[in-house]
Amino acid sequence: MITSVARTSWLNLRRDRAAMVLSFVVPLVFFSIFAGIFGGQRNSTSKVRVAVADEDRSPESKNLIDALARESSLDVRLVPDAKQPAVRFDAKSVEEYVRKGSAPAAIVIPKGYGAAPIQFSGSSNAPHFKILADSSDPVASNVISGMLQKVVMTSSPTSMMRAGTRELDRWSGGLTVQQKSALDQNISTFEKSPAAKKAGGGTLVGIDVVDVLGKSKKNPVIAFYAAGIGVMFLLFTATNAGGALLEEAESGTLDRILGTRVTFTHLLLGKGLYLWMLAVTQLTVMFLWGSLAFGLELRTHLAGFALMAAATAVATSAFGLLLATLANTRQQLGALSTLIVLSVSALGGSMFPRFLMPESLQKAGLVLFNSWAIEGFTRVFWREEPLTSLAVPILVLVAFGIAFFAIARRMARRWEMA
């Protein structure tokens, strides 16, 4: 009896393609996406991109840059534009590079670094490195800071020797013959001294971390997640609301509608308009809540928000119509939308920032419309770029919207005429 019940359930599952997709395909797709993102596709940890501006231009600073470039965990960029290799970063252009989101952090090697690369005891007068950080990626600046400490120590053995000798003079009182014999003992003393402990604490080189983005924001990560989560749920809402078309087809209402003056193009455009208004309202509510509850700076970015919300809604509403016209039943739509929306959201950066993904996935994400929506909102709320910088994301989103609508119109022909 029990096996009969189990068998009946299995037969039902076998006949229900949507349930089969949800049971077996969706988990595999997600496993692959997450494995790709966090597993780096068989690579070890993904590289942290860092831009380097060399203000010192000394042999020591060159050594340091070469050593940084050899680090497997860093992707070092020295020029803002690969087509002009002669034009290297300076302090200004490297900050702009981070501000645009091209790298999560940058190192500025200060003038005078070559003269005194290392101070065991630390000195406020000594030139300090600057790490210019985009605090939306809190990991990158810490990784770069640690790597910089390590590279400075290992990349300049002569500097280390000179610095060591200076410290030896200081602690031994001069390198007399008698004192040479006491060197080992004094080094032992040094190792136990507070200064040595301080050296181990990371002050071999002075580093100032400067947030070039988000330092004035009350809760900087909110801007990113308001966009990411907002766009993801916009897609779910749009596909769900687009499913009304399937209900109308199943209930015969579509037949009745098409027996009136309403053509299928009217019908799709009308539904698209409704989905667009729904999406704009949904985004407005989302960002208002972000503003009220989490201090998102909506009031000062209203124009950018309005432009991006309007363009994002064009793409998501047409996407909802497209999925609805691809499916034959509500159940199919449920399975299809779960699979596609979650995949697109994961790869497009709704669930976690794209800059945390391997570079190949970051590039792949650019073919997804939602990544452009998130990019646009990030430019408005995070990087505070001028409205003109939204031209490309807006054009891409509108182009996606037009393409989705055209395909949806084409797919809908099966309902229109037998």
Partner 1 sequence: MQPLQIENLVKSFGARRALDSVSLELREREILGLLGPNGAGKSTLVRTIMGRVSPDSGGVQIFGQAAPAGNTESRRAVGVVPQEIALYPLLTVHENLGVFGRYHGLEGAALDESIDKALQWAGLHDRTADVTKTLSGGMKRRLNIAAGVLHEPRILLLDEPTVGVDPQSRERIYEMIESLSERGVSIIYTTHYMEEAERLCDRIAIIDHGRIIAEGTQEALVSQTIGGAREIVLDCGTAPDDAAAAALVARGASIDGAKVVIRAEKPAEAMVDILAVAAKNALPIHDLSMKRPTLENVFLHLTGRELRE
List residues near partner 1 by CB under 8 A. 251-253, 255-263, 416-418
Can you tell me the distance from the alpha carbon of 107 to that of 91, in angstroms, rounded to the nearest whole number? 9
404 close to 319: Cβ distance less than 8 angstroms: yes
- Closer CB to partner 1, 170 or 256, in the complex: 256
Question: Which residue reads 């503003």 in tokens?
Answer: 291
8 Å CB contact between 191 and 183: no
Residue among 7 and 413 whose Cβ is closer to partner 1: 413
What minimum distance in Å lies between the beta carbon of 27 and partner 1?
A: 35
Provide the CA 124 distance to its chain's centre, in angstroms: 35
Nearest-10 Cα torsion for 272, 278, 284, 286: -120
Nearer to partner 1, 92 or 410 (CB): 410
Closest separation between CB of residue 247 and partner 1, Å? 9
CB 245 to partner 1: min, Å:
13
Count CA within 13 A, CB hemisphere, residue 105: 28
Give the nearer residue to partner 1 in terms of CB position, either 259 or 386.
259
Radius of gyration of the chain (CA): 29
Comparing C-alpha atoms, which of 321, 336, 324 is closest to residue 405?
Answer: 321
Pick 57 or 413: Cβ nearer partner 1: 413
3-class secondary structure, 226: helix
Q: Which is nearer to partner 1, 174 or 252 (CB)?
A: 252
Crossing angle of helices 391-411 and 264-294, in 10° steps, is 140
CB of 257 to partner 1, least distance (A): 6
Least Cβ distance, residue 265 to partner 1 (angstroms): 10
Cα 251 to Cα 164, 246, 254, 266, distances in angstroms = 85, 9, 8, 19
Burial (0-12, 13-18, 19+ Cβ within 10 Å), 56: buried
Minimum distance of partner 1 from residue 417's CB (angstroms)? 5
Cα angle: 319, vertex 325, 326; to 5 degrees: 90
Alpha carbon of residue 359 to chain centroid: 11
Residue 205: count other Cβ atoms within 10 Å of its Cβ.
24
Residue 407 CB, nearest approach to partner 1 (Å): 21
How many angstroms separate the CA atoms of 362 and 377, rounded?
17
Judged by beta carbon, residue 191 or residue 255, the one nearer partner 1 is 255
Are the C-beta atoms of 373 and 227 separated by less than 8 Å?
Answer: yes
- 3-state class (DSSP) for residue 75: strand
Q: Which is nearer to partner 1, 44 or 260 (CB)?
A: 260
Q: How far is the CB of 249 from partner 1 (least distance, A)?
A: 11
| Nearer Cβ to partner 1 (252/386) | 252
We find the least distance from the C-beta atom of residue 254 to partner 1, in angstroms, to be: 8
